[in-house]
Amino acid sequence: MLLLSLLFILVFAIVGLIFIPSSQKLIMKQLALGATSTVFVLSLFLWVGFDQSTSKFQFIVDGLWLPMANINLVLGVDGISLFFVILTTLIFPLCILGCWSSIQLGVKSFLLSFLGMELVLILVFTSLDLIFFYIFFETILIPMFLVIGIWGSRQRKVRAAYLFFLYTLFGSLFMLIGVVYIYHFAGSTNFEALSVIEFSSHDQRWLWLAFFASFAAKVPMLPFHIWLPEAHVEAPTAGSVILAGILLKLGSYGFLRFSLGLFPLASVYFTPFIFSLSVLGVVYTSLTAIRQTDLKRLIAYTSVAHMNLVIIGLFTGTVIGVEAAILQSLSHGFVSSALFLAVGVLYDRWHSRVVKYYGGLVHTMPIFISIFLFFTMANLGLPGTSSFVGEFLLLVSAFEADTTACFFAATSMILGGGYSLWLFNRVAYGNIKLPGLDLNFREFMIFLPLIMGTLIMGIYPNLFLQPMHAAVSNLVWSG
């Protein structure tokens, strides 16, 4: 019932928003913030009541849909999906707070899109049926397409929205073909039923490739990354935060849950291919980030680099590697979300994201620069922050799996230090180019939960690793 209550609260909030007059902007914002905050608090009880000793799914919700065809809506949470759900419920109230004053036109539609996105994302991370996973996986494209295309900040926003929509939709068509084949082969699309079925080596490889096309576009991996920088630059701040903080995790979660869980032999077979693509993605996007002049585009490329590092960890075939990949995904959700929110703070004040227009903010915005420095250090993996733990464990597992891949993946830490410190130096120091207007209380409270999450994960990672250990140990294939 706890999982069901999260969904019902969002549904009731959506219905309530529909009936509130469009002129009552403050009431609509308060309702959306109250609903998303309540959902976050309730999601923490999933963590509190979670049984860490078992790899089985918990908080099961089973609903009949097409029982005669053996297709039913089944929801549940295990140690892998638990923290993705909590990350989702944390990010959305922060996004609504972040756009509290910047979104003035179409407030109702904007909030409906965001509440709809949160509802569908929770369903994606908890769905235990392939058909429904695919439906929810694709449904998320609609509200994000609207957010980018309608509330984007520049003239190319419609192009960016279509780029995002078509790239991710095209890849998912192959996954749909794979799901249909699985249903005809096994007579079911229930994940728990499929997990005990052994597909032939030949079938696994073709199905793995079908799912790969969809998940690689979401991560994104090279050469499927073209849509991401464009979408980030054109999206409003809250849209960029959702893209980086949560939507990119759909790809890594899909690889983890389905590619590794259902097709272990194919995953082993394609590991060299994944390592090659991921290492290329890490090095290329890190080098590309260094030459960017737009704040959002720079952080977007760093997101691609970090998520490709996550994929290396997933395919190491070790418990440490997979746990590190999940930990790094969560860390990336905290850090990249905070960096995009920081860019949003600057854009709200001066309506520019060009790096050269900023300088000397350490003198005029000391609180903002202190927070920006903290997340800059977290982004390059400073010990004591969440990114250090994830990256260290990732590189340890990658070294055991493939020394060459580990070497090139480790260059991301050097290149990451280059673009992170270069960006901070340009923004914080030098001549004062703009008048100071430091963070207000609302903006400070947006960053506070992300700071706490980054520090807690960096200082005591076992708090996050322990609940996922049983599920990851059960998932990891042998050989």
Which H helix or E strand runs over 424? helix 403-428
pLDDT tens for residues 79-88? 999 999 999 9
* Residue 214, token pair as written in the block: 């969809």
pLDDT value of position 105: 75
143-176 pLDDT per residue, tens: 999 998 888 876 778 888 888 888 888 888 889 9
pLDDT for 106: 80
pLDDT in tens, 126-149: 999 999 999 999 999 899 999 988
Residue 44's pLDDT is what? 94
Q: Mean per-residue pLDDT for 52-81?
A: 85
- H helical segments located in 99-200: 107-126, 130-139, 141-151, 157-186, 191-194
B/e letters for 359-369, b = 16+ CB within 10 Å, e = fewer, are bbbbebbeebb
Residue that the structure tokens 């959305």 belong to: 92
Rounded Cα distance, 455 and 386, in Å: 6
Instruction: Give percent above pLDDT 70 in the chain.
Output: 99
> 145: exposed, middle or buried (C-beta count within 10 Å: 0-12, 13-18, 19+)?
buried
Mean pLDDT for 315-339 is 92
CB 171 within 8 A of CB 270: no
CA dihedral 425, 429, 431, 433 (to 10 degrees): 80
Least confident of 112-121, 124-133, 282-291: 282-291
Q: What is the mean pLDDT of residues 377-388?
A: 90
**Region label for 184, one of left (φ > 0), alpha (ψ between -120 and 50) or beta (otherwise):** alpha
User: How far apart, in whole angstroms, are the C-alpha atoms of residue 55 and residue 248?
Assistant: 25
Nearest to 325 by CA among 204, 448, 419, 409: 409
Whole-number average pLDDT of the chain: 89
Give phi and psi for 198, each to the nearest 5. -100, 110
- Identify whether 223 is preceded by a cis peptide bond (ω within 30 of 0): yes
Each residue of 243-270: pLDDT tens digit?
Answer: 989 998 999 999 999 999 889 999 999 9
The answer, yes or no, to whether residue 203 has pLDDT greater than 60, is yes
pLDDT tier, 477 (very low <50, low <70, confident <90, very high otherwise): low
Convert the pLDDT of each residue in 352-373 to its tens digit: 888 888 888 888 889 999 999 9
Q: Give the pLDDT of residue 154.
A: 66
Could you tell me the pLDDT band of residue 478, with boundaries at 50, 70 and 90?
very low
The sign of the dihedral angle between the CA atoms of 461, 238, 139, 263 is: negative
C-alpha angle 430-433-434 in degrees, rounded to nearest 5 = 130
Averaged pLDDT, 433-442:
82
- Residue 72 pLDDT greater than 60, yes or no: yes
Tell me which residue of 347, 327, 328 sits closest to 339, measured CA to CA.
347
Q: How confident is the model at residue 479 (pLDDT cuts 50, 70, 90)?
A: very low
Q: Is the pLDDT of residue 103 over 70?
A: yes
- The residue with tokens 């597992």 is 397
> pTM value?
0.94
CA distance linking residue 401 with residue 267, whole number of Å = 14
User: Which contiguous run of DSSP H or E holds residue 75?
Assistant: strand 71-77
**pLDDT higher for 41 or 439?**
41
pLDDT score of 224:
79
- Residue 413, pLDDT score: 79
